[in-house]
Every structure is written in C-alpha cells, then in structure tokens.
A and B are shown apart, each in its own frame.
Chain A
C-alpha cells in the first residue's frame, strides 16, 4: 500500500527557514516524481514544486511563489523527499502535502497524497 507521510511542520518566524520531509513507502520511490502542494487555511490548492525521478536526473521545478528561495531534494536510499523554503513570509502559512504523481495512458494526476503538515509563519 502506498503511504506518504509529511513531517517538519510547526511555527516559524518570518524570514526564517523551514525544511519539510516526506517519507514514502509501498512503491518504487526512485522511479517516481514527488510533488509538493500547499493549501492556506480556507483557500485552494497551490502546486509548489516537483522533483523528478532518477531517470530524469532528479530535476527540480518550482512555482513562481517559491522560486529562488526554495530547494526540493530527495534521498532515494531512504525513500525520503524534502522541501526547504527560506525567507519565510506570513503567506507561506499553509498545510503542505507531498504527492506522488500517477500516470495512465499518458495522463498525469496526483493519485497519492500524504496527510499534510501544518506550517504557521508569524512575525
């Protein structure tokens, strides 16, 4: 059974740095892209970042909202993915999810999600 578990959330100060972890099990982690999505309280879903699988050289991509102040990484030997965001702003407060991309007949979607980890950024 596929399982994704995020950790590392909590209360952070503006200007600070957070590092979230995503622990994966139940699938071939090294062959899977991992995405990060967040959701501010009462708001919609916002895609943040993707780190591709080993076959695509672990290439990272970021949304405009976190580009330039974030790093997504992974450790395939430990089935772990990470998202680091620095220069935190209050608008970074949200539930952060990691997701595993799924694909059927060339159509991609997010088939598996973690439960999310809550991040609160305050001044």
Chain B
C-alpha cells in the first residue's frame, strides 16, 4: 500500500499568516492527491483534488502543488475559519485510498 506522510503534525499560526503543509507519498502518485479540511466534530470536506485543482466553492486562498511524491498545501492568508485539521489523501492506486496523518492548524 502507498503510505502518505504529512508534516508538520501541528502548527500554530496567526490570522493573516501564510501556512504551508507538505505531504510525501511512499511511491510516485502522479497528481492523484487530494486535500481535506476537518473541523472538530464534523466530517472532512474536500478542498483540493488532482494536487492543485480547487473544489467548487472553495476560497482561492487555498492552493495545492506538486506531483510524483512531493506535495504542498498552502493557505495564503490564514482566516479565523481555517483553524482545523488538514489531511492529504492519495487516489492513484486504490483501494486503499490512504490518508496522511493530518496537520492541525491552531491559533498562535
């Protein structure tokens, strides 16, 4: 199975800051990489699919980049509503559609 490794596991940031999360796949997955946001007590919500394509209705401050084994997810200017946990997920070889371990973004 493909393993997904996210870093950091948590970070503290202020409103307005630029935040970047990385995700590494154990083998090349082309651009088959998704990013989800999850808030406490809620189901995850897809933000980005195909490594860099914004899901409909998602604000443009969210972006994704990468291909192969190295990927990044960026929030250009952190907003109060963005404090949450973010997960990457590969969809190249499925199943299983493996998730990264998650990155919790909290308030500095």
Interface of A with B (CB < 8 Å)? 35, 44-47, 49-50, 61, 63-64, 97, 102, 104-105, 107-111, 113-116
A115–B87 CA distance with the chains assembled, in angstroms: 18
Task: Check A110 against B50 for contact (C-beta < 8 Å).
Answer: no
Of B38, B94, B97, B102, most buried by chain A (CB within 10 Å of CB) is B97
A111–B46 CA distance with the chains assembled, in angstroms: 6
CB-CB under 8 A from B44, the residues of chain A are: 45, 110, 113
A114–B44 CA distance with the chains assembled, in angstroms: 9
Task: Check B96 against A44 for contact (C-beta < 8 Å).
Answer: no
Task: Check A47 against B87 for contact (C-beta < 8 Å).
Answer: no
11 further interface pairs, Cβ-Cβ under 8 Å (given A44-B100, A107-B34, A109-B55): A44-B87, A44-B102, A45-B87, A46-B99, A49-B95, A104-B50, A107-B31, A108-B97, A109-B46, A110-B36, A113-B44
CB-CB under 8 A from B49, the residues of chain A are: 104, 107, 109
Task: Check B96 against A47 for contact (C-beta < 8 Å).
Answer: yes
Contact of B50 among A49, A63, A105 (CB under 8 A): A105
A112 to chain B, nearest CB (A): 9
Is B14 part of the binding interface, using a Cβ–Cβ cutoff of 8 Å? no
Task: Check B53 against A35 for contact (C-beta < 8 Å).
Answer: no
CB-CB under 8 A from A44, the residues of chain B are: 87, 99-102
Which 3 A/B pairs are nearest by Cβ-Cβ distance? A113-B43, A107-B50, A109-B34
A35–B99 CA distance with the chains assembled, in angstroms: 14
CB-CB under 8 A from B36, the residues of chain A are: 45, 110
CB-CB under 8 A from B43, the residues of chain A are: 97, 113-116
A33–B57 CA distance with the chains assembled, in angstroms: 24
Of B43, B49, B89, B91, most buried by chain A (CB within 10 Å of CB) is B43
B6 to chain A, nearest CB (A): 9
B43 nearest CB neighbor, chain A only: A113
CB-CB under 8 A from A47, the residues of chain B are: 95-99
A14 to chain B, nearest CB (A): 25
A86 to chain B, nearest CB (A): 20
A59–B94 CA distance with the chains assembled, in angstroms: 13
